[in-house]
Amino acid sequence: MPPGKKQLVLAGVAAGLFMCVTLTGIAVNVGRGNYIAIPLVLLALVLAILSIWLGIWLNRRRIQMMFRHPTPDRLIEHYHATLLQARARRIPDAEAAAACPSALAAAVYGQFDRAREELAAVDWEKSPVMYRVHRLDLLALIALLEKKDSATAMRLAKEAEDLARTEALAQSGRPGGLPILHHAILVAAGDSGVESVERTQRAVGKNTGAIPALCAWAMSLYFDRSGQAAEAARYRSRAKEAAPHFVGSGSP
């Protein structure tokens, strides 16, 4: 799970636990006829939820602003610092969780050797399937951005898809979903499947950072292929707005 999503899940769990404790306290006070404490407890609950949400928003905003720097150094330093913290807390698979966004940041800036180095530092055979899927998607992205090699990108994306679906079927009996990055790669490589196009287009949004930029870039290639030059140009502009130094935003 990417660090941002993992942070969101952990915050959600913490908020849920705090809410359960708070509701239990309210029920106890109601049972005892103590209604004065209820507004104070509810206020504490609201403040706790707001502080958690604010912390997540500030962290995301900080990462988004880092994408406006001319190099990926600050981004990668941030992810490496997260890795050190995760190691100190003995969080499993910390290396893979930090390597994926670090490699993504390097690839977005066109530092492809650095992206491969970040990925090579991890023993992927010992990593969970979701990280191995993400690694394959990142290698597919590098093939597209570095050499415009759609055939290699599609092959790697297919490997990622097969791996993800096999694991999901083994665990739940149902095919699992795939990350937005995967769909953006498919669209950029020439797959015009309805699901991938719709999910990629929705993810463009108004945010800044790697994923909105990559999705906008993928949509610009999609519209280039369909002969809609104005739409393609609009999405290329959006990609540059989302990540000003994105290596793919300057040309079709």
Per-residue pLDDT tens digits for 178-218: 789 999 999 999 988 899 999 999 999 867 789 999 999 99
Task: Give the burial class of 159: count Cβ atoms within 10 A of its Cβ; 0-12 exposed, 13-18 middle, 19 or more buried.
Answer: middle
> Of 66, 94, 109, which closes a domain?
66
Q: Are residues 106 and 201 in the same domain?
A: yes
Model confidence pLDDT, tens digit, residues 23-58: 666 666 656 666 565 666 666 667 767 766 666 566
Question: Where is 179: in which H helix or E strand?
Answer: none
Query: Is 111 within the bounds of a domain?
Result: yes
**209 and 106 part of one domain:** yes
The pLDDT value recorded for residue 22 is 61
Could you give the angle at the alpha carbon of 159 between the alpha carbons of 125 and 139, nearest 5°?
Answer: 75
Please check the confidence at residue 176 and state whether its pLDDT lies above 60.
Answer: no
Together in a domain, 93 and 15: no
Same domain, 49 and 106: no
Domain tally for the chain?
2
How sure is the predictor about 8, in pLDDT bands with cuts at 50, 70 and 90? very low
Q: Which of 91-105, 114-128, 147-161, 221-235 has the lowest mean pLDDT?
A: 91-105
- Domain residues for the domain of 237 are 70-242
- Please tell me whether residues 125 and 228 are part of one structural domain: yes
The pTM for the full model equals 0.75
